[in-house]
A and B are shown apart, each in its own frame.
Chain A
Amino acid sequence: MKYDETMDEREIINKIKTNQMAFDYIYDKYFPQIFQYVMYRVYNREVAEDITSVVFFKAMKNIKLFEWFNKIPFSAWLYRIAYNEICNNAKKDKKQEKILKAYKNEDADTYYEMNTEDNERSFEFIHDYLKKLPQRDQEIITLRFFEKKAFAEIAQITGKNESTLRVNLHRALKKLESLMPSEVLNHAYRQISM
């Protein structure tokens, strides 16, 4: 039996543990979406692939914990798992950072710089500042400005109410602004306006 958009997603998700076709449908639909979100957060393809596969594995393993009656869409539940995995990964990275710092390969960075697209280079620029913020602030900015999600959707993902999110976003942007010198920001803006 082939699953498509016309079918009730709840029914498909109920069959996901026993039916491989149901799993295929869910995976094909949500993997690119979650992968993109993780990429915005970690900006490393290998790490993003690892995290996304862990997200799906955990989601499938704990599918019984997913509750429809809370009216959270399945995608929002996946985003929550992804957020937790990104935080776990960041903790591991902090430990490894000190070791890697000593062996940082400058040539590899130059090669990457030369082979990236313009908008990707702009993203790299903003990501460098973004990763200095706390995980919660990074999440709100990513969901709001890169994923272009409405506050209602972000509220479903984070489990916070919309007014709290607006305040949090405002504070997060203030923090980010304080990290970026105004001339750098103006230069970056001119680059994306071209």
Chain B
Amino acid sequence: MPIDKYLCDFKPPVFLPGPSFVKIKLDLKRAIFDKKLLGHMHIIYTTAIVCLLALCSIFILKPQTAQNINTLVFGQDTADSGAILFADKDVDLSQFTTQFKTISSDASQSLPFIEDNKSYLIQRVKNSEEKSFFYVREVKKTNTISNIY
């Protein structure tokens, strides 16, 4: 009895997939299509984070840009804008010198023009003779430098 004759006459059983047919289909669809959506979300999140970091870097390196955006959005300069300028060591003070009230260091004990309930910015500078001077500026909410002493 040759084996090939046996196998040729053999009727193999029909194996049909059970109820798991539907479950596997759903699992596969979830794995294939949801993963794809998740992949897109990754790209969106990464792009958003990169943009945010780039903006932060610009604001740190160029604070003036942040101030300009602030002015553009809120329409007016904030009270701290003067402080930002003075905080920068390289700021050109020549534009203020004519309008600033210069006080010698000896007069620092009494400042009669300093009024109550007003904010001032004081900048201490030294001249070529190593003599200290104070520049006093009143900080107003409007971006004017008219009230500079």
Number of interface residues of A (CB under 8 A): 40
Q: How far is the CA of A27 from the CA of B31 in the complex (A)?
A: 14
The answer to whether B28 touches A60 (Cβ under 8 A) is yes
User: Given that A35-B17, A189-B1 are known contacts, is A60 also in contact with B32, CB under 8 Å in the complex?
Assistant: yes
The answer to whether A49 touches B24 (Cβ under 8 A) is yes
The answer to whether A189 touches B29 (Cβ under 8 A) is no
The answer to whether A173 touches B32 (Cβ under 8 A) is no
User: Given that A146-B12, A180-B3, A185-B3 are known contacts, is A57 also in contact with B31, CB under 8 Å in the complex?
Assistant: yes
Binds B, one of A90-98, A103-111, A120-128, A150-158: A120-128
User: Given that A119-B12, A180-B3, A189-B9 are known contacts, is A45 also in contact with B18, CB under 8 Å in the complex?
Assistant: yes
Q: Which residue in chain A gives the minimum CB-CB distance to B17?
A: A35
The answer to whether A53 touches B24 (Cβ under 8 A) is yes
Number of interface residues of B (CB under 8 A): 29
The answer to whether A123 touches B13 (Cβ under 8 A) is yes
Q: Which residue in chain B gives the minimum CB-CB distance to A53?
A: B24
Residues of B within 8 A of A180 (CB): 3
User: Given that A35-B15, A145-B8 are known contacts, is A177 also in contact with B3, CB under 8 Å in the complex?
Assistant: yes
Residues of A within 8 A of B38 (CB): none
The answer to whether B24 touches A173 (Cβ under 8 A) is no
Residues of A within 8 A of B21 (CB): 31-32, 35
The answer to whether B9 touches A40 (Cβ under 8 A) is no
The answer to whether B28 touches A53 (Cβ under 8 A) is yes
- A83 on the B face (CB < 8 A): no
The answer to whether B13 touches A49 (Cβ under 8 A) is no
Residues of B within 8 A of A45 (CB): 15, 18
Residues of B within 8 A of A40 (CB): 12, 15
- A192 on the B face (CB < 8 A): yes
The answer to whether B7 touches A141 (Cβ under 8 A) is yes
The answer to whether B13 touches A119 (Cβ under 8 A) is yes
Residues of B within 8 A of A48 (CB): 15
Q: How far is the CA of A59 from the CA of B11 in the complex (A)?
A: 30
User: Given that A49-B24, A188-B6 are known contacts, is A23 also in contact with B1, CB under 8 Å in the complex?
Assistant: no
- A75 on the B face (CB < 8 A): no
Q: How far is the CA of A182 from the CA of B2 in the complex (A)?
A: 9
- B16 on the A face (CB < 8 A): yes
The answer to whether B20 touches A49 (Cβ under 8 A) is yes
Which residues does B use to contact A, with CB under 8 Å? 1-18, 20-21, 24-25, 27-29, 31-33, 36
